[in-house]
């Protein structure tokens, strides 16, 4: 055994850590470090984006800026494609969905390139006009850092998942300066268990990240808002109606998002897809410039009711004194923002949907307040600022299926809890209506369809985290469907330690099974060896497990429905092996211990 001083630095540190720190203390230290790095990632992504945007708005280009809306997105998408194809050489994926997939199917392990991939590509996407947000890439960057730091210090899957949640909380805390909402976001979106063991690291990461944000950005916030009017009970009906409108806006958001993805997925030529989607986005940006980039500037101009800046257009600027023109343009922002966002994604842009959701919610809430105020049936007008903020919460609750995050984020952005009741009303109604039509959020819908989604249901989580391949047994003697009884005995029974035999054809396609009990009474009668064939003895399996279709939950259900102890496994109809109920339950118990400890 080598002396302590001769061990590698990391190993010496691990030995020191084991002697001087408990696992809980070390987790708190790591969560603070991850919160700082996630906050730093947010600073870098934001500054790079603003730097690119400022370059594109200077000198010659500033005089022809609107004309360049046609080409900016295509240039940006081409640059992103080149970086991914030639430098990173791996698909990046969308921020939060890719993180959720890593937790569900990769045991929380994220590749090292994910620590810097979004740092490069997201600012280029948004800086050149991509109509997406930077929150998702920031969270993905932080999550990858958390995953790789936990791997460096040899932490288990449970701790890896917690540190990924810490990174998400840190990113959100740094961006919005909303530490409580950031913690709730991590718990709500990443399905973390709400215990004291998980709460303290999340709190540590959130505090560390927000201090980083204060250090670099000072006290300024991304949406500076001062509440002018307090909530009154007479406004409750309007917040209820707003909740219903936000629900239908959320359903529209999700449907358009996946519909555009489906349309462009049929275009296999990458360059053609970039050209078509980029040009389409350029046309939208030319006619509706507020769709350019994240859109927080538009939100802030709406809150200050500066419509000239918020709704800058090429054709309607001189009509902005007419409030109905303003209402019409706001409705246009709601309708076309998700189109612009979806076009950005299908063209290969890297970003998130958090900012577009807030953008649509602010336009929707503001538009609703203007309509109510100018129908002239109220003695006292409702606050456009309050409804703008609450509209954001309604859209977040519906699209992201994160009502608690929506409530606390807007409450923290408004600097208090005066809007807490209307936030609860609108967010709850929007969430309940949306969920009845769309059980899963935009983040989780694709994972849910594939049965790879983690939820707060621990039993479902255990089934999701289990790897089917690890419970497949292949030590069965395979019989050909042309064999006779003599071959069954010599090639199967004599060699096998199992009492079940899979039958396949010449292409290894699964045909059925033969049980030892089916041949026990005749296998010593040599007069039948040539006469009896596999087809005379074979029977259908109680059910079949198809690796291309069945998830662990489906497999459990098949065992429950059939009462069988062994079920055959196929892929593309070809025999793979068997899964036994006893091995499956043993693996389930082991995984349950892993995710509980």
pLDDT tens sequence for the chain (597 residues): 455 454 467 677 667 666 777 777 888 888 999 999 988 988 899 999 988 888 877 654 555 555 666 788 889 999 999 999 888 888 777 777 777 777 766 777 788 888 888 889 999 999 888 899 888 888 888 888 888 888 888 777 778 888 888 988 999 999 999 899 999 988 888 777 667 677 889 999 999 999 999 988 888 888 888 777 788 888 899 999 999 999 999 999 999 999 998 999 888 888 999 999 999 998 898 888 889 888 898 999 999 888 888 887 657 777 777 888 889 999 999 999 999 999 999 998 998 889 999 999 999 999 999 999 888 767 788 889 899 999 999 999 999 888 999 999 998 888 767 888 999 999 999 999 999 998 877 777 766 555 555 544 444 555 555 667 778 888 888 888 888 888 888 888 888 878 888 999 888 899 888 888 878 878 777 778 787 888 888 888 888 888 887 777 788 888 888 888 888 899 888 998 898 887 877 777 776 655 554
| Model pLDDT, residue 234 | 87
Q: Kindly state the tokens that stand for 102.
A: 């890593």
Which homologous superfamily is 461-596 in?
CBS-domain (3.10.580.10)
| Model pLDDT, residue 203 | 92
How far is Cα 174 from Cα 35, in angstroms, rounded to an integer?
Answer: 9
- Sheet of 566-571, strands arranged across: 472-473, 574-580, 566-571, 545-546
DSSP 299-367: HHHHHTT-HHHHT--SSSGGGTTSHHHHHHHHHHHHHHHHHHHHHHHHTT---BSHHHHHHHHHHHHHH
Domain covering 4-217, topology: Clc chloride channel (1.10.3080)
Contacts of 61 (CB under 8 A, 6+ apart): 68
CATH 1.10.3080.10-classified regions of the chain:
4-217, 233-455
How far is Cα 437 from Cα 52, in angstroms, rounded to an integer?
Answer: 40
Could you tell me how many helices (H) and strands (E) the chain has, helices first? 27, 7
Mind listing the pLDDT tens digit for each residue in 341-373? 999 999 989 988 899 999 999 999 999 999 998
CA atoms within 13 A on the CB side of 82: 7
| Model pLDDT, residue 457 | 47
Is 100 in contact with 454 (CB distance < 8 Å)? yes
Is 135 in contact with 141 (CB distance < 8 Å)? no
Contacts of 416 (CB under 8 A, 6+ apart): 227
| Model pLDDT, residue 275 | 92
How far is Cα 100 from Cα 98, in angstroms, rounded to an integer?
Answer: 5
Is 253 in contact with 399 (CB distance < 8 Å)? yes
Task: Quote the radius of gyration of the chain (alpha carbons, Å).
Answer: 29
How far is Cα 205 from Cα 61, in angstroms, rounded to an integer?
Answer: 41
How far is Cα 288 from Cα 121, in angstroms, rounded to an integer?
Answer: 24
Query: According to DSSP H, which parts of 438-491 are helical?
Result: 445-449, 458-465, 485-487
| Model pLDDT, residue 118 | 87
Is 427 in contact with 396 (CB distance < 8 Å)? yes
Mind listing the pLDDT tens digit for each residue in 53-68? 888 776 545 555 556 6
Task: List the beta strands (DSSP E) in 184-277.
Answer: none
Helix (H) or strand (E) holding 5: none
Span 233-455 CATH architecture: Orthogonal Bundle (1.10)
| Nearest one of 405, 339, 330, 400 to 365, comparing CA atoms | 330
């Amino acid at each position: 055994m080598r002396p302590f001083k001769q061990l590698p630095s990391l190993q010496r540190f691990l030995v020191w850590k084991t002697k001087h720190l408990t696992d809980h203390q070390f987790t708190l230290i790591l969560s603070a470090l991850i919160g700082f790095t996630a906050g730093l990632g947010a600073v870098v992504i934001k500054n790079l984006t603003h730097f690119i945007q400022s370059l594109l708005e200077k000198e010659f280009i500033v005089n022809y800026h609107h004309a360049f809306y046609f080409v900016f997105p295509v240039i940006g998408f081409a640059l992103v494609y080149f970086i991914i194809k030639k430098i990173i050489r791996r698909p990046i994926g969308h921020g939060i969905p890719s993180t959720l997939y890593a937790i569900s199917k990769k045991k929380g392990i994220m590749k090292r390139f994910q620590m810097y991939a979004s740092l490069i590509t997201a600012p280029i996407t948004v800086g050149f006009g991509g109509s997406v947000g930077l929150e998702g890439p920031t969270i993905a960057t932080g999550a990858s850092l958390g995953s790789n730091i936990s791997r460096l210090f040899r932490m288990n899957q449970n701790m890896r998942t917690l540190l990924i949640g810490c990174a998400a909380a840190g990113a959100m805390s740094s961006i919005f300066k909303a530490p409580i909402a950031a913690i709730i976001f991590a718990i709500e979106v990443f399905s973390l268990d709400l215990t004291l063991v998980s709460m303290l690291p999340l709190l540590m990461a959130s505090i560390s990240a927000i201090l980083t944000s204060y250090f670099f950005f000072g006290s300024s916030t991304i949406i500076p808002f001062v509440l002018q009017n307090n909530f009154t009970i007479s406004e409750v009906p309007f917040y209820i109606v707003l909740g219903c409108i936000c629900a239908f806006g959320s359903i529209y958001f999700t449907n358009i998002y996946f519909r555009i993805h489906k349309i462009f997925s049929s275009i296999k030529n990458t360059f053609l897809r970039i050209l078509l989607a980029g040009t389409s986005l350029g046309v939208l940006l030319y006619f509706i410039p507020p769709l350019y980039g994240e859109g927080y500037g538009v939100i802030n101009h709406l809150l200050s009711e500066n419509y000239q800046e918020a709704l800058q257009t090429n054709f309607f600027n001189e009509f902005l004194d007419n409030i109905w023109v303003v209402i019409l343009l706001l409705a246009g922002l709601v309708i076309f923002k998700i189109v612009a966002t979806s076009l950005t994604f299908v063209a290969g842009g890297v970003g998130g949907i958090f900012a577009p959701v807030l953008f649509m919610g602010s336009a929707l809430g503001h538009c609703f307040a203007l309509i109510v105020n100018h129908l002239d049936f109220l003695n006292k007008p409702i606050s456009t600022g309050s409804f703008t903020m609450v509209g954001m919460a309604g859209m977040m609750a519906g699209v992201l299926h994160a009502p608690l995050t929506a409530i606390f984020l807007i409450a923290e952005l408004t600097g208090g809890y005066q809007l807490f009741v209307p936030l609860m009303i609108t967010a709850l109604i929007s969430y309940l209506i949306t969920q009845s039509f769309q059980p899963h959020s935009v983040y989780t819908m694709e994972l849910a369809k594939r049965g790879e989604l983690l939820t707060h249901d621990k039993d479902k989580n255990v089934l999701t985290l289990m790897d089917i391949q690890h419970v497949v047994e292949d030590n069965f003697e395979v019989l050909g469907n042309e064999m006779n009884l003599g071959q069954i005995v010599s090639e199967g029974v004599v060699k096998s330690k199992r009492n079940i035999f899979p039958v396949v054809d010449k292409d290894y396609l699964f045909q059925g099974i033969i049980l030892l009990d089916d041949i026990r009474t005749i296998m010593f009668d040599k007069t039948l060896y040539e006469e009896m064939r596999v087809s005379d003895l074979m029977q259908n399996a109680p059910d079949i497990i198809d690796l291309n279709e069945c998830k662990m939950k489906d497999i459990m259900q098949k065992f429950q429905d059939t009462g069988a102890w062994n079920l055959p496994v196929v892929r593309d109809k070809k025999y793979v092996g068997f899964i036994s109920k006893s091995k499956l339950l043993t693996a389930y118990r082991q995984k349950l211990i892993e995710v509980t400890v």
